A and B are shown apart, each in its own frame.
Chain A
Amino acid sequence: MDSSIKRVAMEKKLPVSCPSCRALLRAKRFECPSCNTVVEGDFVLSVLGRLKDDEQVFVQHLIKCSGSLKDLARLYEVSYPTVRNRLDALIERIQALEAEKPEEDQERGPA
């Protein structure tokens, strides 16, 4: 398969942190794929948007399981405490992300 086709077919992941200094990235530009309208600015990603891919998938599954950790454990084929421990780690991570919310974002107030 041609490498360019491979690249297009590959699902692109939204980079959350800078590959160089690990600081949180901000979105500067959005483009409508339909009419090519471009919106430029300085957009801070939401807390959920700043989670790692696997963490975002975990949250999606948790919602789809109606918050049932038992169902989630069945889905992941792991034990209940394993899922609960993962959730505890995720809660800690969300709290840490909320704590490092940029100053400008706080000045703007809630959206």
Chain B
Amino acid sequence: MTKEIDMEDRQSLKVWLFNPFHYVAGGAALAVGLPVVIVASLNGSLSFSHFDGVLDFHTGLGMPLWFYAAECPFDWLVMSVLLLAAGWLISNSRIRVIDVFGTQALARTPTLVTALVAMLPGYQRQAARLAVFNMDAHSPDLAAFITVCIVTVAMIVWMVVLMYRAFAVSCNVRGGKAIVIFVIMLLAGEAISKMVLMTLLQVVVG
């Protein structure tokens, strides 16, 4: 089997972790990524976790199930549409819509890890204490809380790296221009998803 393409990108853990789109894109990425997005979103209802923004993660507020179910898919749709538009704007390559949507779905895999670790009972108890301003620093649950916070930050960083790599591969863009437009779209995506989800919640729940 021929392996001349990017020999430095040999199948390795590093490539699979930070640029799986070298191997998986399009329909295959969507087939893996979309269930992950939906499961992470629904899992939020068990751990009271919210992804109410492209980069956001919060716990604590009980919401209707439809709101949990809508959060992650909405974040994914917003970022995919924005990055597709960005790709059309700056790339000279022929971009397939399925590649952008598929790779962006797969790039949101870290949210599943975040949603799962947020289920830790120690974290849940400590989060509940903090919600009522109980600042018990000697709580045995504090370690679980700090661990989940560290994991969450790491997962968000990992997700942003994956989202950028997905954008770079699916739209064939690289360099400073690609990074600048990605950051702009990320901030726009965060603002749009946050505003729309909050507005939707106000309209439905009142």
Q: Let me know if A78 and B23 touch, CB within 8 A.
A: yes
- List the B side residues contacting A86 at CB < 8 Å: 5-6
Main secondary structure of the interface of B (DSSP, over half): loop
Q: Let me know if A85 is at the binding interface, CB within 8 A.
A: yes
- CB–CB B2/A84 < 8 A: no
Q: Verify B169–A85 contact, CB threshold 8 A.
A: yes
B22 touches A82 (CB 8 A): yes
Residues 80-111 of A at the B interface (beta carbon under 8 Å): 80-86, 88
CB of A77 closer than 8 Å to a CB of B? yes
User: Which of B3, B29, B172 has a CB less than 8 Å from the CB of A85?
Assistant: B172
B199 located at the interface, meaning its Cβ lies under 8 Å from any Cβ of chain A in the complex:
no
Interface residues of A in 46-61 (CB under 8 A from B): 53-54, 57-58, 61
For residue B169, which residues in chain A have a CB less than 8 angstroms away from its CB? 79, 81-82, 85
* A27 within 8 Å of B (CB atoms): no
Partner of B22, one of A53, A75, A79: A79
Given known A85-B93, A85-B172, contact A54–B26 (CB-CB < 8 A): no
Whether B5 and A76, one on each chain, are in contact in the complex, defined by CB atoms closer than 8 angstroms, is yes
In the assembly, what is the distance between CA of A4 and CA of B93, in Å?
A: 47
Closest to B27 in A: A80
Q: With a 10 A CB-CB cut-off, give which of A54, A57, A81, A85 has the most chain B CB atoms.
A: A81
Cα of A88 to Cα of B99 in the assembled complex, Å: 16
Complex CA gap A73/B58 in Å reads 40
A76 and B21 contact, Cβ closer than 8 Å, known pairs A81-B96, A88-B92? no
Of A75, A80, A86, most buried by chain B (CB within 10 Å of CB) is A80
Query: Given A77-B23, A88-B172, are A82 and B5 also a contact pair (CB < 8 Å)?
Result: yes
User: Across the interface, which residues of B come within 8 angstroms of A76, CB to CB?
Assistant: 1-5
| Complex Cα spacing A82 to B7, Å | 13
Q: Which residues of A contact B (CB under 8 A)?
A: 53-54, 57-58, 61, 75-86, 88
B contact residues vs A (CB 8 Å cutoff): 1-7, 21-26, 28-29, 92-94, 96, 99, 103, 169-170, 172
Q: Which 6 A-B pairs have the closest CB atoms?
A: A79-B25, A54-B4, A85-B172, A81-B99, A81-B25, A76-B5
